[in-house]
Amino acid sequence: MVWPGATPGAGHVRVDKLLEQAFDYVQDVTTPKGLTVVGAIPEYVRGTFFRIGPGGYRTKCNNGKTYHVDHLFDGFSQIHRFEILGSSEVKYTSRHTCDSLLENIRRNGSLTGTYTFGQGKDPCQSYFRKVVSTFLPLISKKPLHQDPKPPINAGVTISKDYPGLPNLAKGESAMSNLYLKTDTHFLQGLDPATLEPVGVAYQHMLHPSLVGSMSSAHARSCPTTGDIYNFNLEFGSIPKYRIFCTSATTGKTDILATISDAKPAYIHSFWITEHYVVLCIFGSHFALGGSKMLYTHNVLDAIDPTDPSVKNRFYVIDRTDRRRGILSTYESEAFFAFHSVNAWEEDGDDVVLEIPIYKDNSILKQFYYRRLLGLESRGQDLEEVHLRFTRWRLKNVAVKELDIPTEDTMELPTINTDYITRPHRYTYGISTDFPFKIVGSLVKFDSLTKTSKKWRSEGCLPGEPVFVGDPDGEKEDDGVLLTCVLDMENAQSYLLILDARNLVEICRILVGGVVNVGFHGMWDDQAKGRIISY
């Protein structure tokens, strides 16, 4: 394909085909398709694996021109479903979930009337139009039947049976609802049977105080009760973070605490322990209290560079006694992070947190498609970004980074979810070759021995691993990892099943086509009631 102007005056630049297939538009498979299984799927791996992420960055418009999305986080969301029915029987379907957004672009020749993460400003839009397109969907309070399909793009994480939110499905389903989330206060509802986008829910439907526009794509669920925790960030002269809990039993939402002494920031995830919610305000602050988005027209350009002199602040909030609110605060060196891994309590009130961190938020700019496709310099290498896999201890009034040296640091981390809020030994993720090189590895880190194992296949790019435990297993790593792998040399993807103990391949499920580079997944074992997601 040809991309216009990788650099000013460069004319048209040709994209490498191997890189292109990792990100280009892939057609939907709406009729269940039987897949070939090489090997045998373990008996306990029966259920449905979902994967969500961008399903393309360009589309042809009605005027004959091609519209390109600038940033990976704005790619056209596509969901993939693998229904594992037997040792050699798998059905596959996929569907784009941003129909109204694509229709809008194709009709207008540009992206209007919506909210983006990193899309460049459209010089043809007036200032008023920019205000409308930035904030309209964020503050919409229309009933669902009046505005069932606004042009939104929510495709980072997946939630099944989200308490307190309506079932938007058209027919009967084993799921009460299925929603896609991103780092805002709206959730995209899907029909669990067809995967068709059927409506939008907003956090203010859970509680009238949740009026802010930003939130976390990674809501956390209590492993005991199933209650859902998240925060809602309201911009203004005094920004407010409202940390809330929605009961899995009653669907009722309570505000646990309100933070009004911190800068507004882009925060992708947080932690829960047995008794606490822990929110860290990372070095990713919005300029001008968030109002800069009125003229940047996107999130990324409204975020100030990380100021190393401004410390990160950790807030510890009681989640068991909702009268106590914020219990303590801690400060650390400035850093930025996407994905919290796990947290637990030790020695009374000490809290231990696990998270991969970056020295600053410049990593966000590495995910522009032009950089991923090699059309312009990525500007940084791995050493300059300084990604580190870390553990921290919150003790008394101090924060201490714990020593877990490893050369195989990782992103998109996951664990055996039976250990959420408990000390865990093993963390799984993808190596940090990506996005700096379009190849990658799966990594298993052992925090006890400080050693790692890797799975790697030449020319292949694995996605986020999802752990599925063996119900008869006795050890933390008794189970398998599911990961969607793109074989770029052969333009084919496959769902890989690895033994989580040694990262040895058990089997692979051939898609017969390409599944793009994606974000996160969910394992739904309906028979046993296990839902594994982040």
Q: Output the known binding site for Fe cation.
A: 218, 268, 339, 520
CB atoms within 10 A of CB 195: 21
Residue 15: C-alpha distances to residues 6, 58, 65, 110, 195 (Å)? 10, 13, 18, 22, 32
CA 273/CA 459 separation, integer angstroms: 39
Reply yes or no: is the peptide bond before residue 435 cis, omega within 30 of 0.
Answer: yes
Strand order in the sheet with 350-357: 342-346, 350-357, 388-395, 398-402
CA atoms within 13 A on the CB side of 144: 17
φ, ψ for residue 293 (rounded to 5)? -65, -15
Strand order in the sheet with 157-160: 157-160, 178-181, 186-190, 197-202
CB atoms within 10 A of CB 217: 23
Q: Which residues contact 229 (CB under 8 A, 6 or more apart)?
A: 219, 220, 221, 222, 243, 244, 245, 246, 256, 272, 277, 319
Compute the C-alpha angle 345/220/117, nearest 5°. Answer: 125
Output the CA torsion 81→51→493→370 (10° steps): 140
> Which one, of 170, 166, 191, 188, lies nearest residue 179 by Cα?
188
End-to-end CA distance of the chain: 35
Kind of pairing between the strands at 240-246 and 253-259: antiparallel
And the tokens for 302? 């409204």
CA 431/CA 464 separation, integer angstroms: 10
CA 228/CA 133 separation, integer angstroms: 30
DSSP 295-346: HH-BSGGGBPPP-TTS-EEEEEEESSSTTS-EEEEEEE---B-S---EEEEE
CB 180 within 8 A of CB 240: no
CA 251/CA 267 separation, integer angstroms: 25
CA 308/CA 275 separation, integer angstroms: 31
CA gyration radius, the chain: 22
Compute the C-alpha angle 405/218/210, nearest 5°. Answer: 135
Give the residue numbers of the binding site: 218, 268, 339, 520
